[in-house]
Amino acid sequence: MTSQASGSNALWGSRFEGGPSDALVALSRSVHFDWRLAGYDIAGTRAHIMALQSAGYLTLAEHEKLDRSLVELLGRVQQGSFVAKPSDEDVHSALERGLIEIAGVELGGKVRAGRSRNDQIATLIRTYLLDQANEISAMVIDLVEVLVSRAEEHLGVAMPGRTHFQHAQPVALSHHLLAHAWPLVRDLERLHDWRKRANLSPYGAGALAGNTLGLDPNLVAHELGLAGPTQNSIDATASRDVVAEFAFIASLIGINLSRFSEEIIIWASAEFDYVKLHDAYSTGSSIMPQKKNPDIAELARGKSGRLIGDLTGLLATLKGLPLAYNRDLQEDKEPVFDMVDTLTVLLPAFTGMVATLEFNRSRLEQLAPAGFSLATDVAEWLVKKKVAFRDAHDITGRMVSFCEQNKLELHEVPDADMAAISVHLTPDVRDVLTVGGSIKARAGAGGTALPRVLEQIAALRKIAPKREA
Ligand code: ARG
């Protein structure tokens, strides 16, 4: 019924009679997932023993021996020669056991003074996520760079622009591709801004109320590469909004990939035939030899659901918690670990797929004017002739209806029929009835005209290479 988890290597137990039940041990254990924090835990402990030494709780010789032992322990963890045992509750207990194995119980036993697993874990999740944010940002930058170069490669190619998924107005393919780059740039900015709040050290908060030993929290923060200590020990140990904010940004990255994926899946269908996927970034069917499937895009779309689940699960965990630390907070880790793992496999595959997409230029060009997508150009041409927009809309609507009845395109309406629709419709309206003219005319801020697209490319080239130091 009971195990020895509260025995020699547990971090607590002296006031308990007998050990915890096996069922509790099994429930409580986190070492199978928090082991990935081992390097961060050891870095935290190395910073902590500096604070202990500087406050006079360790001699220089003790500090030196402990630090050497921690470096040795890190080496063993990295080689895999030190691993967690079933009896270790979490990464912190396992590593304290490892330190004691190397430094001896007397010296190793001094390390826990002035800290709690509560301030420890609140710090480690930050240092871990800060590193992961860098990795993820670098992968998002790669994707932005690919989008920018694909846009540059296809300058001057028109495609149908849609609203409500219906043909709306022709746009430049480059403009459309860049429309997928900008949200990713905002995700990068979000991660950059998030760092301000993540970049603080809860070390010194202790279990919840602070510590009595006069340990220097600035020293620890500095050693961990963080900007400084947190301001309130209760908040520091109890809050996970920094984790939730990371999770929100990670899920938004997933959502942005998913939106693009939906288009790629449709574009690759026989009906659309806008793009061909590269063999290396598409899959076949086990039964249908002809198939070429957009699995990366589908997995991106599917995994965005999973990322949203991670975020909402975490938010639900946080919503009912009184101050300060509650064990519920152990549940903060698996969702963000899963998000990190998911984005880490997804982003490179997605970027490769986009880098190798083959666009069917002639098909895109041919469909760009379909569905009377130049009608707005007629209406705006009328406005330039001082016709009120309300009337211009009405006149153009009648022209579209004439075309539908007579199976004509807008530029094919005979002069006499135009005149019959409205005196304002003179033959020179045909000047704006080309896809190229329509795109060129949309030269206002953020428009699809070539100069505006080139401006975006230049702006994105400046933003994208900014990686975190
Ligand atoms: N494994 C715990 C967590 O992830 C560490 C903190 C445990 N603290 C405690 N008082 N039981 O949150």
Average the pLDDT over each of 36-40, 232-236, 372-376 and give the range with the smallest value: 372-376
Ramachandran angles phi, psi of 257, nearest 5°: -65, -35
Q: Which atom of ligand 1 is the closest one to the Cα of 329?
A: 12
Catalytic status, residue 285: yes
Nearest CA to ligand 1 atom 5: 117
- Looking at beta carbons, which pairs linking 23-26 to residues 24 or more positions away fall under 8 Å? 25/87, 25/89
Backbone angle region of 104, left / alpha / beta, with phi > 0 → left and psi within -120 to 50 → alpha: left
Note the pLDDT tens digit of each residue in 139-169: 999 999 999 999 999 999 999 999 999 999 9
pLDDT band at residue 431 using 50, 70 and 90 as cut-offs: confident
Note the pLDDT tens digit of each residue in 221-230: 999 999 999 9
Cβ neighbour number for residue 136 with a 10 Å cutoff: 23
CA distances for 452 relative to 154, 158, 168, 433, 444, angstroms: 15, 15, 20, 21, 8
In angstroms, the first-to-last Cα distance of the chain is 52
Catalytic status, residue 278: no
Note the pLDDT tens digit of each residue in 377-429: 999 999 999 999 999 999 999 999 999 999 999 999 999 999 999 999 999 99
CB 31 near ligand 1, within 6 Å: no
* C-alpha 117 – ligand 1 centre gap (Å): 6
CA distance 150 to 355: 7
For the chain, the 3-state helix, strand and coil shares in percent, each to the nearest 5, are 65, 5, 30
CA distance 68 to 181: 47
* C-alpha 164 – ligand 1 centre gap (Å): 49
Decide if 314 contacts 11 (C-beta within 8 A): no
* C-alpha 330 – ligand 1 centre gap (Å): 6
CA distance 179 to 176: 5
CA distance 48 to 55: 11
Burial of 44 (0-12, 13-18, 19+ CB in 10 A): buried
Nearest CA to ligand 1 atom 4: 330
Nearest CA to ligand 1 atom 12: 330
Given the residues 14, 164, 286, 362, select the one marked as catalytic: 164
* C-alpha 29 – ligand 1 centre gap (Å): 10
Note the pLDDT tens digit of each residue in 190-212: 999 999 999 999 999 999 999 99
Q: How does 204-220 read in b/e, with b if 16+ C-beta sit within 10 Å? A: bbbebebbeeebbbebb
The mean per-residue pLDDT over the stretch 173-180 comes to 98
Given the residues 285, 286, 362, 422, select the one marked as catalytic: 285
CB 30 near ligand 1, within 6 Å: yes
Ramachandran angles phi, psi of 166, nearest 5°: -105, 150
Q: Specify the pLDDT at position 290.
A: 84
CA distance 237 to 119: 5
CB 317 near ligand 1, within 6 Å: no
Note the pLDDT tens digit of each residue in 102-150: 999 999 999 999 999 999 999 999 999 999 999 999 999 999 999 999 9
**Probe residue for ligand 1, chosen from 93, 118, 240 as the CB with the greatest number of ligand atoms within 8 Å:** 118
Q: How does 137-156 read in b/e, with b if 16+ C-beta sit within 10 Å? A: bebbbbbbbbbbebbeebee
Measured CA angle at 320 (ends 232, 32), to 5 deg: 80
Nearest CA to ligand 1 atom 11: 327
Nearest CA to ligand 1 atom 7: 117
